[in-house]
């Protein structure tokens, strides 16, 4: 049992270092009137090794399409490379710089709509100031709007603001996002020149 701001919640069974969490899973960390930041650390076997939950004071800093600073922790979206093109189609019809489109989208999600931010990493003990590779998920909704999980990694790829990195031998670093990248390219979000 964990305690956050006077609210207790049970640790869920079957946590997964890669899977998108359900809104119900994220809602267990929500605290009335406060935004929560949850960091889950997984070991090499994919088992949850540690979880921290804290009240998020201040804004999430959007340092670029794949870089965030959340509660003083520097995070890079796992396996992604920022801005495959200088300009992108944003809001379905407008041409924006890739960096500004990413900032506009993520500011709205993280700083205006989020009630819970969950980041998952395989890095058990980062050095001070080290950027941590992670996948981040945001709970939005409430106040009459249905709760929904926003998958930040998937959103950046789908919107053409990031691409999946490749290993030296050409393998995908994020096979789970290949369908989103393919759909993004077919719609033409990237290379809006």
Residue 129 lies in a domain: yes
pTM assigned to the model: 0.86
Residues 37 and 186: their CA atoms lie apart, in Å, by 34
What range defines the domain where residue 107 resides?
19-187
Decide if 179 is inside a domain. yes
Is residue 64 packed enough to be buried (19+ CB in 10 Å), middle (13-18) or exposed (0-12)? middle
Determine, yes or no, domain membership for 11. Answer: no
CB 153 within 8 A of CB 136: yes
On whether residue 9 sits in a domain, the answer given is: no
Residue 12 is assigned to a structural domain of this protein: no
Phi, psi (rounded to 5 degrees) for 19:
-70, 145
72 found inside a domain: yes
Q: How far apart are CA 86 and CA 95, in angstroms?
A: 10
Position 192 in a domain: no
Domains contained in the chain, number: 1
Q: What is the pLDDT along the chain (193 residues), one digit of tens a residue?
A: 344 444 444 445 447 888 999 999 999 999 877 899 999 999 989 999 999 999 999 999 999 999 999 999 999 999 999 999 899 888 778 899 999 999 999 999 999 999 999 999 998 887 777 899 999 999 999 888 999 999 999 999 999 899 999 999 999 888 888 888 888 777 766 554 4
Looking up residue 162, the CATH number of its domain turns out to be 2.40.50
């Amino acid at each position: 049992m964990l305690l956050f701001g006077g609210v207790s919640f049970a640790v869920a069974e079957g946590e997964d270092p890669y899977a998108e969490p359900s809104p119900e899973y994220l809602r267990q960390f929500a605290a009335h009137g406060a935004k929560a930041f949850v960091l889950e650390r997984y070991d090499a076997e994919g088992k949850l090794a540690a979880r921290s939950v804290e009240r998020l004071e201040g804004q999430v800093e959007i340092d670029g399409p794949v870089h965030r600073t959340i509660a003083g922790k520097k995070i890079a979206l796992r396996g992604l490379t920022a801005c495959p093109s200088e300009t992108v189609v944003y809001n379905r019809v407008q041409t924006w710089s890739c960096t500004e489109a990413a900032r506009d989208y993520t500011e709205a999600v993280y700083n205006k709509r989020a009630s819970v931010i969950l980041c998952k990493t395989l890095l058990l003990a980062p050095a001070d100031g080290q950027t941590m590779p992670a996948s981040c998920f945001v709970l939005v909704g409430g106040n009459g709007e249905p709760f929904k999980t926003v998958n930040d990694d998937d959103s950046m790829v789908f919107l053409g603001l990031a691409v999946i990195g490749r290993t030296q031998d050409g393998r995908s670093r994020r096979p789970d996002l290949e369908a989103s990248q393919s759909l993004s390219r077919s719609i033409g979000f990237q290379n809006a020149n």
